[in-house]
Structures are given as structure tokens and as C-alpha cells.
Amino acid sequence: MKIPKDNNLRTLTIGLIIVLIFGFIATDWFRFMAQMSLATFLVVLGVMLQMRAGLVSFGQGLYLCLGAYVAGMAGYFWGITDVFLLLLVGTAACILLSIVLGFLLVRYRGIFYANFSLALSMILYGLLVKAEILGSTDGFNVPHSTFLGFAPEGETLKIAIFVLTCVIIYIVSLVLHRYLNSTYGYAGDAIRQNEIRVEYLGASVRSVIHKIYVIAAAISGIGGVLTAIAVGHVDPDLAYWTTSGEFVFVALLSGTANVMAPLVGAFLLELLRTYAFEYAPYTWQMILGIAMLMVILFLPGGLWSIGSFRRTEN
Amino acid sequence: MTKLLAILIDGSIYASWVFLMGLGMTLIYGVMKILNIAHGSLYALGAYTSVSLIGFYYATGSYPPMLGYAMLPLAAIAVGLIAGLLIERGVLRFMYGRDEVVMLLVTYSIFLILEDTAKLIWGVNPYFAYQPYGLLGTVEILDLVYPVYDFLLIAISLCCAVFVWWGLNKTRVGKLLIAVIHDREMSMAFGINVKLFFTVTFVIGAAFGALGGAVTAPKVSVVPGLGVEVIVLAFAVVVIGGLGSIEGAMIGSVIVGIVRAATVHILPEVELFVIYGVMALVLAFRPLGLFAGPEVRKI
């Protein structure tokens, strides 16, 4: 039997190099946009991971916000500015919280899972909005980052953060790709198709979902830290349910077949958002909505499945 | 003592408002198994329509001012019929039989579309329709001054509850609808026109959502994004009570109303947090809500 060749490592590496080169020559705002879509991509990966197991999370903003706030607070209150430390603290906070919340969430499926995750992220939102020490609805500014004692300024700082974002995303995508092609990764797929059979095959559905939930939270937390560093500002809207809704939109639009799929979707969303403010300020949500309906109706596998249609025909 | 009374009255007012939202949502879920995110937009559309109608009515100036209240239900019915029919006939009917989660995503995209539709029709400037709010004057209870309009809200909400309860339990159509709720396929086999029931239920549910917006409009300034917050509140109410249960929606809204009023008066810092806190707490112990029946696990 011929095992299909896995081209993802090659594609990802080429992609990394292209994006890095592009980052050095692109204009400031375009690089920022790419960076934002990369951070969004990480959160969408979290949503996608759960979607593969048939679970729609309408509250992934919880971990985006938590990661961003923990990183911001570490810089603001304790003076930690080293990005690697910030990443560590932010992700650790998300992992801890998700382990605890996971015990509750694994009991839910379908719309109840969506509802419960939404409620949890709204709890964080409600807390942050009233937390005056953290700037209430305005949020607060995150201090400039340093890299292992190296403290760049201005343009250098921006490029350094961009490179860091790209490299982290490269690593996360690779790890996640390996994970999705492992037994555990396929267990998620199996749960979506038929949970009871998975139980009869001897795997614990709850423990698989719990793991998926924690991994998704960790990835989204990284996305949150990167967002905080890139924007230099955090506010409670990160945990609002409409933010999470956008991630669901991207995951749905791109499809769940491949780790790279949401990258396209996240970039499209960011592009649309940037231009929409200028050209269609009152219709861009409508565009999102119509696109989403079209995808649900005609392209259940997302945009990524267009490519695989062609492949199966061959 | 005064504080307790204030909590009770504020709580009831808030509960009656949020109940109107939850009622439509739980009705639609109970019959069609659709958790309708677009309900928030229907609320916003109802608010906008009623503001426009009220403004139009009082601008002419030649009619008795009290009749202006008729604009509120009129707005709700108009939105329910137009938007409800458009959504159900235009989109939802192609999706029946799909997974509940897919339906959730479908209504989410409808929500996004409707949000911008409201902006396109009414623009982004705030609208005011204060006339009905001030017309009834105020009432004083133990040093507490309340606008009579707020009590009208409670009355409207109670009327809706009684109307739905009576409609479901005492009429032929209602009993048929209960049959549809319990077993869609079986009732279809018995010759009930399930599709018609779906359409009618959605229109009625949408009208309730719009009514919620219509009666709130005179109290607030109507701005874009009005429905975004409401939707999660309505979620909280129906989830606490148990999805699809009318009694549950009542209990849920009373719980949410009283708890919110209590925190506003005692500990205002946790106001928003506490509603979702209660929702998460209820879900943690009764995953399907307080009033939901056991669910059959299908293989």
C-alpha cells in the first residue's frame, strides 16, 4: 500500500520563508494586518480543533482574552516584558483554567457546549468590564516587549515581533499537524461521527474532549499573548461573544480538513475588515453573514474542500 | 426595607422585559429545535420599527396621544410578519433536518445580515421615542418613584405569558403544536401540517422578540448593536429554565431579574458577571436547565 506523501512540512516551511521575506519588504500597516491575521489564525485553530470533534465553541474569545490580559498584566504590574516569559505565563494561565473548566464542559455537546462556552467567556467579560484597576471597558496599554534582554525600538521592534509571531505559528502548526494525524487527532474525528462507537472501541470520549479543549485553550492563549504584544493594548471586547463568533465564522469558512486552512480564512477576514471600514462600513457584517450562509449551504467542508474536490476527481 | 422593595420592583420590571425575549426564543426552540441567535436582531428591528412608527404618529399631532401605544404591538406584528416570514421562508426552510449546531450557525449568519440591514435602513444615529414613556406619569411607592410605563411592561409580559399558556393548553391548535413538539415525525404521520406549524411558530416567536424591542424602545435610545447584548441575556434566561420550556423561561427570567436587581442595589461591581454566573451554575448542576425533561439518547 502506498501511503500518501505528507507535503505539509514542505508547504509550511516555504510559507514561513515567503511570509518572512514579505514581512521585511511590506508596508507597516500591511505587515500589521498580516500579523493580526496570524494571531487570529491561532485562535481559529483552537475553534477548528473543537469543530473536528463536532463541538462548536462560541466562547474561544475567553482564552484569547485571558492570554492577552495575563500577558498585559504581567507587563503592567510586575514589569515582565520578555516575550518568551509572557508567552509562558499567558499560555500557562489558559492551560490551568481550561483544565478546570474542562471537567464541566466535557459533559456537554451540540448547542449546550456552544452555550456554555459562550456563558464562560461572557463571565470573564462581565468581570473585566467592572474591574476598574484594569481600566474597565477601556482596557490598558501593554508595555513594549523585550527579547531575552534585547530591547529594540521603533521599526526594529515591529519586525522582531513579526518574526517571532511567524516562527511561533510555524511551530504550532507543525505540532498540531502531527497531532491531528496521530491516533488522538483521529479520535476527535471519530467522536464527531459517532460518539457511542468510540466508547465501545475502548476510548474515553470525555478524556479525548478534555484534551482537545485544553490544547485549543493553550493555542488560543498563545494567540492572545501575541495579540497583546502586537497591538500594545488589551480590552474586554476580546472576550465578547461577537469576537468568538468571528472565529467560528473563519473556522467554518476555511473548513477543518487541514491546519493551514484557517490561515486563508483568517487573512481574508482581516483583509475584509480593513477594507470594509473604508468602503463598506455598514455592510461588512452582511457580507460575512451571506458568505457564511453560502458556505453552510453549498460548501459544508469549507473553502479548503474546493481543492480536495479536484483531487478526488483526478 | 425600601431596598428590598426596590429590588423586588426593579427585578420584576427587568424580568418581564427579559421574559418577552426568552419567550419567543424558547418557543422557537421547543417547536423547531432552532436556537435562534437572530432573535437579538428581531429585537433590534422591533425597537427601530416602533420608534419610527411612534415618531410618525406623534409628528402628525392630530390623533389622541393615548392611541400611540397601539404602535408598539403594531410594530411587533409588522416585524414578526415581514422579517419572520422572510427568514423562515427564505432561509430556514432549506435547512430543516440539519444538526442543531448547524442551525445555530445559520441563525448566527442571519443575525449578522440583519444587524447591517438595520443600519442600512435606519442609519447609525440614535433614535428616541420618549412620548409613550412620559405620558403615563409616575407612581410613588414608599418613597420610590417609578414610571407607570414600567408597570405596563410587567402587565404586557404577563399577558403574553397567559396568552401563550392558554394557546398551548386550551386550544386545538395548541394541542396539535404540543404533539409536534413531542414527536415531529409521528405528528406528520397523523396528518398534521408540520411545515405550516413551523412557519407560524417562527412568525409568532419573532413577533415576541420584536415586541420586546418595541416596548423597550421608548425607554432607551435606539442605536446599532442594540440586540447584541440582549441575545446573550435571552440565552441565559432560556438556558436556566430549560430550552423549549415556557414555564422554564418564566422562572429563568424571574431568577435573572431578581438576581440582577439585587446585585445592582447591593454590589454593582458584579452586575454583568452574576447573570452569566447563574447560567453557568445552573448548567453545571442541571446540564439541560431547570425544567427540561430527560433527553432520549439516539444511536
Q: What is the pTM of this model?
A: 0.88
pLDDT tens digits along A121-138: 988 998 898 888 888 888
What are the DSSP calls for B245-264, one per residue? -HHHHHHHHHHHHHHHHHHH
Confidence of residue A50 (pLDDT cuts 50, 70, 90): very high
**Distance in Å, alpha carbon of A130 to nearest chain B alpha carbon:** 6
Q: Output the pLDDT for position A255.
A: 84
Measured between alpha carbons, how far is B230 from B19 in angstroms, rounded to an integer? 11
Residue A226 has pLDDT above 90, yes or no: yes
Backbone angles phi, psi at B198, to 5 degrees: -60, -50
Chain A: residue whose CA lies nearest to B95: A297
Query: Residue B246: which of B9, B29, B17 has the closest Cα?
Result: B29
Confidence of residue A4 (pLDDT cuts 50, 70, 90): low
Q: Which of A242, A244, A249 to mutate to test the interface with B (most CBs of B within 10 A)?
A: A242
Query: Residue B252: which of B217, B292, B214 has the closest Cα?
Result: B292
Query: Residue B15: which of B181, B237, B182, B265 has the closest Cα?
Result: B237
pLDDT tens digits along A78-99: 888 888 999 999 999 999 999 9
Q: How far apart are the first and last CA of chain B?
A: 55
Residue A43 has pLDDT above 90, yes or no: yes
Chain B: residue whose CA lies nearest to A119: B276
Measured between alpha carbons, how far is A32 from A273 in angstroms, rounded to an integer? 13
| Residues of B (65-94) whose Cβ lies below 8 Å from A | 91, 94
Confidence of residue A314 (pLDDT cuts 50, 70, 90): very low
Specify which of A8-22, A89-103, A171-185, B145-159 reaches the highest per-range mean pLDDT.
Answer: A89-103
Name the residue with higher pLDDT: A219 or B61.
A219
Query: Residue A295: which of A306, A285, A284 has the closest Cα?
Result: A306
Confidence of residue A311 (pLDDT cuts 50, 70, 90): low
Q: Output the pLDDT for position A98.
A: 95
A245-271: average pLDDT: 85
Name the residue with higher pLDDT: A266 or B139.
A266
SS3 string, A210-279, reads HHHHHHHHHHHHHHHHHHHHHHCEECHHHHCHHHHHHHHHHHHHHCCCCCCHHHHHHHHHHHHHHHHHHH
SS3 string, B103-137, reads HHHHHHHHHHHHHHHHHHHHCCCCECCCHHHHHCC
Measured between alpha carbons, how far is B23 from B253 in angstroms, rounded to an integer? 10
Query: Taking CB atoms and an 8 Å cut-off, how many pairs form between chains A and B?
Result: 121
Query: Residue A35: which of A228, A220, A258 has the closest Cα?
Result: A228
Q: Which fold has domain A8-313?
A: ABC transporter involved in vitamin B12 uptake, BtuC (1.10.3470)
Q: Which of B28, B276, B285 to mutate to test the interface with A (most CBs of A within 10 A)?
A: B276
Q: Which residues of chain B register pLDDT less than 50? A: 297-299
* Gyration radius (Cα) of chain A, Å: 19
Q: Output the pLDDT for position B136.
A: 75
Q: Which of A111, A241, A286 sits opposite B116 (nearest CB)?
A: A286
Q: Output the pLDDT for position B146.
A: 83
Q: Which of A114, A123, A292 sits opposite B273 (nearest CB)?
A: A123
Measured between alpha carbons, how far is A118 from A245 in angstroms, rounded to an integer? 10
CB count, 10 Å around CB of B100? 18
Q: Output the pLDDT for position B299.
A: 42
Query: Residue B12: which of B165, B152, B164, B219 has the closest Cα?
Result: B152
pLDDT tens digits along A288-298: 889 889 888 88
Q: Output the pLDDT for position A3.
A: 59
The ipTM (two decimal places) reads 0.86
Name the residue with higher pLDDT: A6 or B238.
B238
Residue A209 has pLDDT above 90, yes or no: yes
Taking the Cβ of residue A293 and every Cβ of chain B, the question of whether any pair is shorter than 8 Å is answered with yes
Q: Output the pLDDT for position B292.
A: 67
A39-62: average pLDDT: 91
Q: Any long-range contacts for A279-288 (C-beta under 8 Å, 24+ apart)?
A: A282/B116, A282/B119, A282/B120, A282/B124, A283/B116, A283/B120, A284/B116, A285/B112, A285/B113, A285/B115, A285/B116, A286/B112, A286/B113, A286/B115, A286/B116, A286/B117, A288/A246, A288/A249, A288/B109, A288/B112
Residue A108 has pLDDT above 70, yes or no: yes
Domain ranges of chain A: 8-313
Q: What nine digits make up the cell of A112? A: 449546550
| Residues of B (132-171) whose Cβ lies below 8 Å from A | none
Q: Which of A56, A116, A125 sits opposite B280 (nearest CB)?
A: A116
CB count, 10 Å around CB of A37? 23
Q: Are residues A199 and A56 in contact, defined by beta-carbon separation less than 8 angstroms?
A: no
